[in-house]
Amino acid sequence: MKEFTSENIRNLVLVGHGGSGKTSLAEMSLFTGNEVNRIGSISEGTTVSDYTGNEIERQFSISLSLLHLEWNNTKINIIDTPGYSDFIGEVKCGMKVADTAVLLLKAVEGVEVGSETAQKLITEAGMPSAIVINKIDHERSSFADTLKQAQERISNGIVVITYPVNEGTNVETVVDLLKMKAYQYGAAGTKKVTEIDIPASEADTAEEYRIALIEKIAEQNEDLMNKYFEEGALSEEEIVNGLTQSIVAGTIIPVFAVSSVKGVGINNFLDFAAKYFPSPVARGAVEGQVKDSDKKVNVNINSSGEPVLFVFKTVAEQHVGELSLFKIFSGKLQQGMDLVNQSNGKVERLNQLSVLNGRNRSDIGILHAGDIGAVVKLKDTHTNNTLSSKSFSVIIPKVVFPEPIINGALIPKAKGDEDKIANGLHTLHEEDPAFYSKFDPELSQTIIFGQGEIHLDLAVKRLKERYHVDVDLVQPKIPYRETIRSVCPGVQYKHKKQSGGRGQYGDVWVKLEPLPRGTGFEFVDAIVGGVVPGRFIPAVEKGIIDTMAKGILSGCTVIDIRATLYDGSYHNVDSDEMSFKIAASMCFKKAFLEAKPILLEPINEIEVTIPEECMGDVMGDISSRRGKILGMDSDGHFQKIKCLVPLAELYKYSSTLRSLTAGRGAHSRKFSHYEDVPKDVEAKIVEEYKKSREEA
């Protein structure tokens, strides 16, 4: 492939709700740009970007995919991202290195939850964006309704560039408002496009959209506005410059009508992308940070600068090893260059530079600033690492991944697989930092965290496929807490054991009091007159602390208690630290059970975003989970419900929500506080714990 300078590169990321046609749009773009000689199908598992076994089996994108094509002497890099919220980390990685976000909307359903989520990410990133209203070939397609919905719920800066003529199953023509011509497309696969005059029946509609476009361009600049009011028109040059600058500024969002399956509108979209979407240079410098310093520095998109690249995605490929996907923020790269990983100080040699179309790699000798590529077998480099020359120690800001909304516990099916599982989980995290794992010593379980049930299920499947380890994914144990409601004025426990020779003797009196929530544990030494020698006091405290860690009612940690050691006795020969530790442990258990013990459970604060028509079902489900509604807010056609729900009731909630809302609901969660467990629930938990102890 030939070299492309920074000005002739366009980096697009395709985002949107699941099923909006991102992969199909990417596929048709590659075909139209002559990168592939046949149009792949999602149902047949033959698309370029959805190439992994899991994607082919499930028929949706799981990981981002990097693609490219040449159009009008411009290199267009396309990053195809998943639509399911489970894989939002992939979307954030793609958006980090793109210069234009292309949001796909369905011409029937319009703006959906996933559309709004993607738009929020675009707004947070301050990215230029465009909208493709896809599936105009659907029998119930309504371009005008979807456009109106987008203008109301996404931005009033939305303007039409192309719109369909006779949308529906027989659609074949779009009107281009910049060229003021209509374009008639042949059957999918023919690549035939004919420029024709705008049909007379469309003249009024085209003129209305054209005026709205020119007015929006004029609004962005006072001089243009004055000229437009005076003359009623703008020159071609003024339209081009005004539109280009407004897209970079994010004040105008162009809209295109497309059928990604039939290919209708694709050429017009690619023409516009090559001419009007910002190059990396047009986006301007990126603010980096000098290594080991708080000093900020601008990294200019300039091929003559010091080389700086940022790894935004790591892919583990069989027979290849780790493949690092990167964007060059400065300088130009050549095969064999040595760069320093600023995250760990290791030197990496860049062998086998390539550009990608899905899994297909093409070697390339030189890549310029602003371009996106891949390199294999970097030894110590992973996602979010910056590599640069020794003389320019700069770090590009990292991708910030979302907090997890679901977790699960892994139970190995075979003994001895723990190391394999740990290594596998580490690699999966390197590939997808939105997925991570940890061993919880309190629960004695390996817990995995992610963005949804599919996210976790795939991790389990990948462990089996790649590392040949079988695990069960189960609900994690709930980290309940135990405490007391009343004061136990004092109990005694005397540990006395004689077995020939030296015996064991420890005698303690302990008082327990409840403390305010969040206070923790307090130990008071109230011994007077040395009835318990000072050298044994730490053993008493340790005996209590150890017992609190193991729990009494349910095997869970005891919290918010003051224990006062106020009396006891000892034996000159038989008393030792172990005797007092045992006596303290048993005394604490006895006192705890006399102080009206209770169980506490973790409560999460949940925010659920759903369509209005799903309110009844979702709120009923929340109530069935012992949830408490805190409040509701209207957000366009969606409702946001804030509520408190016990963690024990949230296992696989994302799947239930998806089912209740036909995939249009989303939720986030965070820990709030601990609260008393209802007595009937507490009784079941305590009974189950007793049974497990007896079986053990």
Domain ranges of the chain: 6-283, 286-395, 406-474, 482-595, 601-681
8 Å CB contact between 213 and 246: no
Name all contacts of 154-158 with Cβ < 8 Å and 24+ positions apart. Answer: 154/103, 154/111, 154/115, 154/116, 154/119, 154/253, 155/253, 157/216, 157/246, 157/250, 157/251, 157/252, 157/253, 158/131, 158/253, 158/255
The CATH number corresponding to 406-474 among 3.30.70.870, 2.160.10.10, 3.40.50.970, 2.40.10.10 equals 3.30.70.870
Q: How many residues does the chain have?
A: 696
Cα 122 to Cα 452: distance, rounded to the nearest angstrom:
22
Rg (Cα) of the chain, in Å, rounded?
32
- As assigned by CATH, the class of the 6-283 domain is alpha beta
pLDDT of residue 232: 83
Residue that has been written with the tokens 């023509």 in this structure: 173
- Mean pLDDT, consecutive 10-residue stretches, the chain (696 aa), reads 92 96 97 96 95 92 96 98 93 97 97 89 95 97 96 94 96 97 95 96 96 93 86 89 95 98 98 98 94 92 96 85 94 94 94 93 95 93 95 95 91 88 92 93 92 92 91 94 96 89 91 95 95 96 96 94 96 94 97 96 94 92 96 84 96 89 84 94 93 81
CATH 2.40.30.10 fits 286-395, yes or no: yes
Torsion over CA: 643, 648, 650, 656 (sign): negative
| Amino acid residing at 249 | A
What is 482-595's CATH number? Answer: 3.30.230.10
pLDDT of residue 127: 96
pLDDT of residue 696: 63
Fold of 601-681: Alpha-Beta Plaits (3.30.70)
- Whether 406-474 and 601-681 share one fold: the answer is yes
8 Å CB contact between 313 and 278: no
